[in-house]
Structure 1
Amino acid sequence: MKDPRNIDTAIIRALQLDGRASFLDIAKELGAPRATVATRVQQLLDSGTVRVIAAVDPSFLGQRVIAHVSVVAEGPVRVIANGLVQDSDSVLVSAVGGDHDLIAEFRVTSHEELHRRLADVRRLPGVAKIDTLIYTSVIKGFFISKYTGDAVIDAMDTRLIELLQADGRSSYRQMAGIVGLSATAVRTRVQRLLEARIIKISAVEARGAHGRQLSMGVGLNINGGHDEVIELLRASSDIEFAAETVGRFDAVATLVGQSPAALLDSLEELRGLPGIKRTVSWSHLDVLKEDYARRV
């Protein structure tokens, strides 16, 4: 673990699983000195390589329709990209290399609202074609907590969520000083929000042109062995996000790696699974928006 790149990768993975993990807990997991972990975490945050934020589960917000939209442009993509970035219902926008030029993820309240959003996308100057996938089940996602309850929150909870959306590692004492509660009361409220799966606190890593890590999207057509494929998507440390879909693919996934060779190895592992009939991949060249903060 002496190579800083290896330490950073392990630290980011730990923060993606638990954005508020303590330096001591991460150090124990990595088998590294606490001081080293504390220094590396701060450097990752200060450099903008990583952001730790809270995201409200889309189901709690009533956003029960999540769509993956791929855009083919007639020319340069910047104008289209700006339109997608400015849309309040988009959480992810990326310039990609492959059959399409841009991809975006939209979270909306209904299929009717999705149709309106797609019509807006089609009207953007330079859009030649769009292809849409609907997520039927999110298999793996650091900002999906799968809320299924009937919890009620108040104005104080909402304020704490806003603070955690800005800085998911803000201390209980810091938040207490802002909202006028004791640190113990803040801790109790935050733990309740986490346990009820209303929010999830995780790390967003800069990718593409401005990041240290490469990422690739993959569409999968599955023709048998469906459960085994889904389990690999869930278990693989090289897969950051995966969802079952309705549309031209049965599932989509995001692979991450520090080199093209690493991405190819992960893609080959997927291709070699019994039941995978076809894969289509695209490279994330520049992630233009990754923003899961939403007003409650």
Structure 2
Amino acid sequence: MDFDADLIRALQEDGRASIRSLAARLGQSRAAVAARLKAMLDDRTVRVVAAVDPVFLGQHVLAHVSIRTDGAVELVAEQLRDMNETVLVSAVGGAHDLVTEVRLGSMEELHDLLATIRAIDGILDINTIIYSTVVKGFFVSEYHGDITLDAIDEALIEQLQADGRQSFRALGDEVRLSPSAVATRVQRLIDGGVIKISAVEARGLAHRQLSMGVGINLGDDDDAVIDALRGGRGVDFAARTLGRFDAIATLVEPSAGALYASLERLRALPGVTRIEAWLHLAVLKEDYARTLRAPLSPE
């Protein structure tokens, strides 16, 4: 058993899980779980944060952009990191040098953004894949379309985007409500699909987890492949796509050998006709936080 990996996976499923429930699930003492979680949070190996569902934010267009540069990637990556539309920017090894995930309100906005990206000095060319359906993703919940937020809800979400494990008492102090009232509001936001609270793990060659992007072309048995991606233990993210691939996935494993084995399992699935992979060398931005309200005026 990999204690850290299993703890992180449990937090990806429920970022606010109690130490007691985590200890019971992992078969460890509460003291051991609390100490290990504190250490990982302190050194930023893991962040537990809330993300607002893209549909709730009006972000109906999600896309993956692969970029080739004509030199060092840092200056290009810096400009991509500064864009509000990017939630992920990563230096990769493969046919491209950088990949970014963008979220926007419309196809027109996507076209405008792609034109802006193409104009960045140092970019040779880009290739865009549009997500038609996200089938697995810790930061895409299922907004039900029937939730209205007030100023207190918005303030709670912004606090949880910074620290998804803040206590209900601490959150209550911020919004001047009792811990029980805060707990009710937070659960309503989660149950309604407005937010998802999950763990973000540092990935890349400098960290304990390696990450690989995979583009997949499918044959007739595409539903079986999608089901396999949805249930795959090493699959961090998966989506049906429009573009040069029929699906795209992110594999996360603790070693090169495990990553290779995970990729081989994908290659062997009936219905997979072709795979293209790229290794995430350094994840330079992974930020799902969005401002929902104007700052409160001091009383």
TM bucket, shorter chain: over 0.9
CA shift digits 1:121-144 (9 cap, x unpaired)? 000001101000000000100000
Asked if structure 2 preserves the Cα contact closer than 8 Å seen for 1:205 and 1:211, the reply is: no
Give the alignment partner of residue 235 of structure 1, picking from 184, 206, 231. Answer: 231
Alignment partner, residue 201 of structure 1: 197
Q: Is 2:238 aligned against 1:257?
A: no
* Superposition TM-score, scaled by structure 2 size: 0.96
The 2-side partners of 1:255 and 1:148 are apart by 28
Q: Is 2:51 aligned against 1:52?
A: no
Q: Is 2:99 aligned against 1:139?
A: no
Give the alignment partner of residue 122 of structure 2, picking from 80, 102, 126. Answer: 126
SS for the counterpart of 1:63 is: coil
Alignment of structure 1 residues 187-226 onto 2, 5 Å: 187-226=183-222
Asked if structure 2 preserves the Cα contact closer than 8 Å seen for 1:209 and 1:287, the reply is: no
Q: Is 2:33 aligned against 1:7?
A: no
Q: Is 2:65 aligned against 1:69?
A: yes
User: How many residues of Structure 1 are paired with residues of Structure 2 in the alignment?
Assistant: 292
Asked if structure 2 preserves the Cα contact closer than 8 Å seen for 1:59 and 1:148, the reply is: no
Give the letter aligned to residue 260 of structure 1. A
- Percent identity, aligned pairs only, is 56
SS for the counterpart of 1:224 is: coil
Alignment partner, residue 75 of structure 2: 79
Give the alignment partner of residue 90 of structure 2, picking from 91, 94, 102. Answer: 94
Shift in Å, 1:209: 3.7
- 4+ residue stretches of structure 1 with deviation over 2 A? none
Alignment partner, residue 289 of structure 1: 285
Q: Is 205-214 or 217-226 further displaced after alignment?
A: 205-214
CA shift digits 1:164-195 (9 cap, x unpaired)? 00100000001111211111111111011011
The 2-side partners of 1:99 and 1:183 are apart by 51
* Long gaps (5+) in structure 2: 293-299
Alignment partner, residue 28 of structure 2: 32
Give the letter aligned to residue 269 of structure 2. L
- RMSD, aligned α-carbons: 0.7
CA shift digits 1:18-77 (9 cap, x unpaired)? 000011111111111111111111111011100000000000000000000000111111
Asked if structure 2 preserves the Cα contact closer than 8 Å seen for 1:221 and 1:249, the reply is: yes
Shift in Å, 1:82: 0.6
Alignment partner, residue 174 of structure 1: 170
The 2-side partners of 1:209 and 1:7 are apart by 20
Asked if structure 2 preserves the Cα contact closer than 8 Å seen for 1:220 and 1:252, the reply is: yes
Alignment partner, residue 276 of structure 1: 272
CA shift digits 1:233-267 (9 cap, x unpaired)? 00011000000000000000000111111000000
Alignment partner, residue 108 of structure 1: 104
Alignment partner, residue 16 of structure 2: 20
SS for the counterpart of 2:115 is: helix
Give the letter aligned to residue 15 of structure 1. L
The 2-side partners of 1:232 and 1:274 are apart by 10
Give the alignment partner of residue 149 of structure 1, picking from 118, 137, 145. Answer: 145
The 2-side partners of 1:15 and 1:261 are apart by 24
Shift in Å, 1:212: 1.0
The 1-side partners of 2:118 and 2:248 are apart by 23
Shift in Å, 1:145: 0.3
Q: Is 177-186 or 58-67 further displaced after alignment?
A: 177-186
Shift in Å, 1:211: 2.0
Give the alignment partner of residue 246 of structure 1, picking from 238, 242, 260. Answer: 242
* Long gaps (5+) in structure 1: none
